[in-house]
A and B are shown apart, each in its own frame.
Chain A
Amino acid sequence: MVDRGVQLGKLEQDLRKGVLVLAVLSQLRTQQYGYSLRQALAQRGMPIEEGTLYPLLRRLEGQGLLVSQWQTDDGPPRRYYELSAQGVEIQRDLTTAWGSLASVMDRLLEEED
């Protein structure tokens, strides 16, 4: 029998996985580098492991949703990411989809209550 805590942890992780991309895109309307983005997400209640976030940024860039550049203005060289034109559109569409999904889920869960 699977431990309840472990099972809940896995299911919650799956739930968070689904919104991870939208959470990241939402914070990249302005330029951020990996570490600052992680901090920003954590401060807003969405902590993401570094091992998950940093590769995700690269993959989203590979899909054309982000653009990046190295900057060495004040401090060590850092790679900054922000939404590309395609990323802006996708982020907008995903936000709409999330809104409708969240309201459907709210209704479903209210019915349960």
Chain B
Amino acid sequence: MDPKAIINSYVGDVIRHLPRRQRNDIALELQSLLQEELAERAASAGRPADAPMTMELLSGFGVPRDAADRYRPAGFTIIRASDAPRFTWIALGGIFLIWAITLPAALLGVTPIVGWDYGADTWWGRLTVWWLGTGIGALWWPGAVFVYALIGALAGRRRESGEIPWKPTPPRAIDRDLISRPVGALYVALGLLGVSVLVALPSLEALAPGLPRPVLDALALDPEFLSGRAPWILLLWAAILAVYVSVLLTGRWSLIALRIRGLLGMLTLGIMLWWVAGGPVFVSAGADTTAKALLIAIGAYAAFDAALALRRGWTRATSATPLKRSADSPTSRS
């Protein structure tokens, strides 16, 4: 290939990545400069310029996109290096959370399958429908987080002209294990109220005979569920109540309380999944589907809370160990 044609092709590829108004001017200059560079190389080598010599020159200049980037002013940062780990956690964590809620719901048949007949009643058919719908669809989340970061970066860029000076924040003691007793008491009271409502549900007809028949029918619990799977939750609730009352009395989350909270959270998830997978909860199909979706959501929240509690417990245990060791060490005793 003719060296001039190679240079023209290269310049054409470079200016493709540049703003239109600069293209002709930069193309003319770049062509002229590259030809002079090539002529100098040819003179140094003592032979006419050829294709390999031209390619060597252009490879030193860089691939067209890189060369075009150098003509542009520096861009701006969308995600700062210090925000990158948090961005990754939020983006990926969101996807996994959506999957953790929707996948069991799809596999357990809680989410109705509409407009898909092939394998609709098999696990792989549900998995396919889930993947083509919510599974891939969950990728909207990192997109939304990115757009949010982009808007933040653009707003930050505008603010840069009148940058607000940094001010130190007054020191404050952060004790994440300390609880607010009034809020804690309210939490326990609301929990007890909720439990009372649920415990009263099987006797709803006797307790509130004035309710319309469709409401009573819709809230009728499945007899097998009531006799088999339901009672176990009472033990769990009792354990949860005991933990929260003890925390309320001491005023803070102890390491053991955090560990028990984690364990109870995992048990809650297990019971919720068992309830959903073990058969109908309500007699009415509509109420059953809704209740199962709620149970999965509760299970997912319980799992999240358990992970949080166990992580806090683990962090406390690991940060306390070196202190304990150093306190026991001969150096500290001397």
Interface size of A by CB at 8 A reads 18
> Cβ of B61: which chain A residues have Cβ within 8 Å of it?
49-51
User: By the criterion CB–CB under 8 Å, are B60 and A77 in contact?
Assistant: no
Q: Which of A34, A49, A59, A79 is the one whose CB lies under 8 Å from B73? A: A59
Contact with A along B22-53 (1 / 0, CB 8 A): 00011011101111110010000000000000
Q: Report the separation of the CA atoms of residues A33 and B62 in the bound assembly, to the nearest whole angstrom.
A: 21
Q: Report the separation of the CA atoms of residues A34 and B32 in the bound assembly, to the nearest whole angstrom.
A: 10
> Does B274 make an interface contact (CB < 8 A)?
no
In this complex, what residue of A is CB-closest to B59? A51
Q: Report the separation of the CA atoms of residues A58 and B71 in the bound assembly, to the nearest whole angstrom.
A: 7
> Cβ of B30: which chain A residues have Cβ within 8 Å of it?
54
In this complex, what residue of B is CB-closest to A49? B60
Interface residues in A61-104 (C-beta closer than 8 Å to B): 62, 70, 76-79
Nearest CB on B from A43, distance (A): 13
User: By the criterion CB–CB under 8 Å, are A55 and B36 in contact?
Assistant: no
> Cβ of A54: which chain B residues have Cβ within 8 Å of it?
29-30, 33
> Cβ of B67: which chain A residues have Cβ within 8 Å of it?
51, 55
> Cβ of A78: which chain B residues have Cβ within 8 Å of it?
32
Tell me how many residue pairs across A and B have CB atoms closer than 8 Å. Answer: 43
A35 and B60 in contact, given A55-B70, A59-B71, A77-B32 (Cβ under 8 angstroms): no
User: By the criterion CB–CB under 8 Å, are B26 and A58 in contact?
Assistant: yes
Interface size of B by CB at 8 A reads 20
Nearest CB on B from A33, distance (A): 8
> Cβ of B70: which chain A residues have Cβ within 8 Å of it?
51-52, 55-56
In this complex, what residue of A is CB-closest to B71? A55
User: By the criterion CB–CB under 8 Å, are B37 and A50 in contact?
Assistant: yes
In this complex, what residue of B is CB-closest to A51? B61
User: By the criterion CB–CB under 8 Å, are B33 and A35 in contact?
Assistant: yes
Q: Report the separation of the CA atoms of residues A55 and B60 in the bound assembly, to the nearest whole angstrom.
A: 14
Nearest CB on B from A27, distance (A): 16
Q: Report the separation of the CA atoms of residues A59 and B35 in the bound assembly, to the nearest whole angstrom.
A: 22
Q: Report the separation of the CA atoms of residues A54 and B14 in the bound assembly, to the nearest whole angstrom.
A: 13
In this complex, what residue of A is CB-closest to B29? A79
Contact with A along B203-246 (1 / 0, CB 8 A): 00000000000000000000000000000000000000000000
10 shortest interchain CB distances as A-B pairs: A55-B70, A51-B61, A55-B71, A35-B36, A34-B33, A79-B29, A51-B62, A35-B33, A58-B71, A76-B32
Can you give 27 contacting A-B residue pairs, CB < 8 Å?
A35-B33, A35-B36, A35-B40, A49-B60, A50-B34, A50-B37, A50-B60, A50-B61, A51-B60, A51-B61, A51-B62, A51-B66, A51-B67, A51-B70, A52-B70, A54-B30, A55-B67, A55-B70, A56-B70, A58-B71, A59-B71, A59-B73, A62-B73, A76-B32, A76-B35, A78-B32, A79-B25
Residues of B at the A interface (CB closer than 8 Å) are: 25-26, 28-30, 32-37, 40, 60-62, 66-67, 70-71, 73
Q: A35-B33, A49-B60 are in contact. List 4 more A-B contacts (CB 8 A).
A: A35-B36, A50-B37, A51-B61, A54-B33
